[in-house]
């Protein structure tokens, strides 16, 4: 940390990792799309007239529900790990953004099923110490490495600030921090 006019300035924030759910989440929607297209091609040409049109419209609706919506959900869910915080962005129609600061501390839990272990993915649950804020990172690639990085970032963040220092708060005029900590 650098000193500016006698006050400690936190280091600049850098992006450590940008993550998304593993692409295997799209296997079943892709197989469903292939099956719907095959069935629509077979039955759409077998029935002439309005029945064939109903088959094609039904195939279009099923394609949107079974493939397009899961694809958009997969594409709009992002996890960003920076040197100061963890950011979870998700949502297709309603966007949600959660941030957990490393300096506030949190618990990290890694859960892997047998299929996730094959692909070296896992579900990481990050809970704040107040237990009200919980972020769940589903099917993260290289989940063990991400978990270790979160532990290291939290440990380094807690070490880099003096006791009572709150990130983002300005020092008082008399030189004390809002929580009573003295400046260095």
Please give the share of the chain, as a percent, with pLDDT higher than 70. 78
- How many residues are there in the chain? 184
Per-residue confidence (pLDDT) for residue 62, from 0 to 100: 96
Please give the class, per CATH, of domain 15-21+78-160.
mainly beta
Per-residue confidence (pLDDT) for residue 124, from 0 to 100: 94
Quick check: 2 pLDDT over 70? no
With cut-offs at 50, 70 and 90, classify the pLDDT of residue 177.
very low
Quick check: 81 pLDDT over 50? yes
Average pLDDT across the chain, whole number? 83
pLDDT tens for 93-124 read 899 998 888 888 888 999 999 999 999 999 99
Per-residue confidence (pLDDT) for residue 1, from 0 to 100: 52
Global pTM exceeds 0.75: no
Per-residue confidence (pLDDT) for residue 142, from 0 to 100: 93
pLDDT tens for 116-138 read 999 999 999 998 777 676 889 99
Quick check: 174 pLDDT over 90? no
With cut-offs at 50, 70 and 90, classify the pLDDT of residue 173.
very low
Per-residue confidence (pLDDT) for residue 162, from 0 to 100: 54
Mean pLDDT, range 69-91, rounded to an integer? 93
């Amino acid at each position: 940390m650098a000193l500016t006019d006698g006050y400690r300035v936190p280091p600049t924030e850098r992006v450590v990792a940008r993550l998304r759910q593993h692409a295997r989440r799209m296997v079943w929607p892709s197989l469903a799309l292939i099956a719907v297209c095959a069935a629509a091609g077979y039955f759409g040409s077998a029935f002439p007239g309005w029945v064939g049109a109903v088959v094609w419209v039904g195939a279009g609706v099923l394609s949107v529900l079974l493939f397009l919506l899961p694809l958009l959900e997969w594409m709009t869910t992002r996890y960003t790990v920076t040197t100061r915080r963890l950011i979870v962005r998700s949502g297709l129609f309603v966007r949600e953004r959660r941030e957990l600061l490393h300096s506030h501390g949190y618990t990290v839990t890694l859960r892997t099923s047998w299929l996730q272990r094959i692909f070296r993915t896992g579900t990481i649950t990050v809970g704040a110490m107040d237990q009200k804020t919980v972020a769940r990172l589903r099917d993260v690639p290289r989940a063990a490495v991400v978990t270790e990085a979160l532990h290291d970032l939290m440990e380094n963040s807690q070490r880099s600030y003096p006791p009572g220092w709150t990130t983002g708060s300005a020092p008082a005029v008399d030189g004390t921090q809002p929580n009573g900590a003295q400046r260095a």
